[in-house]
């Protein structure tokens, strides 16, 4: 059903957001149960609430942690924050741990809807729980009472960050990257079990530096299944084995590889949580290719090293000593990365 008549308090609404289409209804115990039946959402997965303005957050939470103010620059936007919630919230919105997820979507029509009603929306993505998420409103297959028209958002879910405890914890990867969050709050966050971290290395032809870096990190992270790695090249072609020098250098370090080169493309940049590059020209190329991912791009030698940007030389066509020197630089950087990643999962 569509239309402009005033919404009933228990009507189920499908609406656009800045990420993916949502489904929800206004805050009440009855609506929690109605929405749960429609989406087949398990009882141990509470719904978030959507607000129209930041000033309304304090109405629903017990405490606003200091780090919130550093994250508020992402709002309105694709970030769901978990707070300690007030016990006046209905179960199913308030979790068993006493927390509540709050999001302020960067979608004016939805925020106007919330303002007009004078109460939050209980909401989730517009799909049966655990099933594929629609990218456009017309892909929604669930039953609903009212449709708010609008175009699709980014197609990627909001990032979910729990700030209710001593240290922020990532509960879901999404539109806002780990790097962006940590840059904003100036501290490391933890990552809950089961959430993968995606590492991408980029060089030129993807036959020397980036495959050496990828295979070396794999060798360091064998005990951590949550970390997934890839490598690609800005001028690579498909299917080329690593250079003789790269292969020999890896063999000297007991690293086996079956790598074949691939050109970098936008989907793999979207996949990555961290994009490590070797030279300024790689960073420039990737920024032009996908500006929305530029915050994830880091010089490999500069990870957790605040000195001026430092490049890693291309060893192609040079002797084995150059390859060994390059590998040594990669090794030092990767050891910092591995230590950082292992700290992430101490939760």
Catalytic residues, by residue number, are: 203, 209, 314
| Cα dihedral: 274, 276, 281, 286 (round 10) | -30
The two tokens of residue 94 are: 């308030």
Query: What Å distances lie between residue 59 and 12, 37, 102, CA to CA?
Result: 23, 27, 11
* 79-84/99-103 β-pairing: antiparallel
Three-state DSSP at 73 gives helix
Q: At what angle do helices 320-344 and 244-252 cross, to 10 degrees?
A: 60
Query: What Å distances lie between residue 326 and 250, 279, 300, 312, CA to CA?
Result: 12, 13, 12, 7
Q: At what angle do helices 244-252 and 209-220 cross, to 10 degrees?
A: 20
Stated length of the chain: 347
What does the alpha-carbon distance between residue 346 and residue 319 come to, in Å, rounded to a whole number? 42
Burial class (CB in 10 A: 0-12, 13-18, 19+), 73: exposed
Given the structure tokens 């990828």, which residue do they identify? 214
């Amino acid at each position: 059903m569509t239309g402009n008549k005033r919404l009933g308090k228990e009507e189920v609404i499908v609406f656009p957001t800045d990420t993916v289409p949502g489904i929800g209804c206004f805050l009440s115990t009855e609506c929690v149960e109605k929405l749960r039946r429609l989406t087949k959402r398990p009882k141990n997965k509470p719904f978030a609430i959507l607000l129209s303005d930041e000033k309304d957050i304090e109405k629903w939470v017990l405490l606003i942690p200091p780090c919130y103010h550093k994250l508020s620059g992402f709002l309105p936007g694709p970030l769901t924050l978990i707070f300690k919630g007030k016990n006046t919230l209905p179960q199913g919105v308030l979790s068993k741990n006493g927390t509540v997820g709050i999001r302020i979507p960067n979608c004016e029509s939805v925020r106007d809807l919330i303002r007009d009603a004078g109460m939050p929306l209980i909401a989730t993505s517009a799909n049966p729980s655990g099933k594929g998420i629609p990218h456009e409103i017309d892909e929604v297959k669930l039953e609903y009472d009212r449709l708010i028209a609008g175009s699709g958002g980014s197609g990627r879910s909001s990032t979910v960050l729990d700030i209710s405890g001593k240290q922020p914890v990532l509960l879901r990867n999404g539109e806002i990257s780990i790097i962006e969050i940590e840059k904003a709050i100036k501290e490391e966050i933890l990552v809950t079990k089961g959430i993968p971290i995606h590492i991408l290395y980029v060089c030129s032809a993807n036959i020397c530096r980036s495959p050496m870096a990828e295979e070396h990190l794999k060798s360091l992270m064998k005990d951590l299944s949550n970390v997934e790695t890839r490598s690609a090249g800005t001028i690579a072609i498909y299917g080329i084995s690593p250079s003789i020098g790269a292969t020999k250098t890896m063999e000297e370090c007991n690293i086996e590889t079956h790598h074949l080169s691939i050109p970098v493309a936008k989907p793999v940049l979207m996949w990555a949580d961290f994009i490590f590059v070797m030279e300024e020209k790689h960073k420039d190329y990737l920024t032009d290719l996908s500006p929305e991912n530029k915050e994830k791009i880091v010089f490999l030698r500069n990870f957790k090293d605040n000195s001026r940007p430092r490049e890693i030389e291309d060893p192609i066509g040079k002797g084995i000593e150059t390859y060994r020197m390059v590998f040594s630089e990669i090794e030092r950087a990767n050891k910092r990365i591995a230590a950082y990643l292992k700290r992430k999962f101490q939760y």
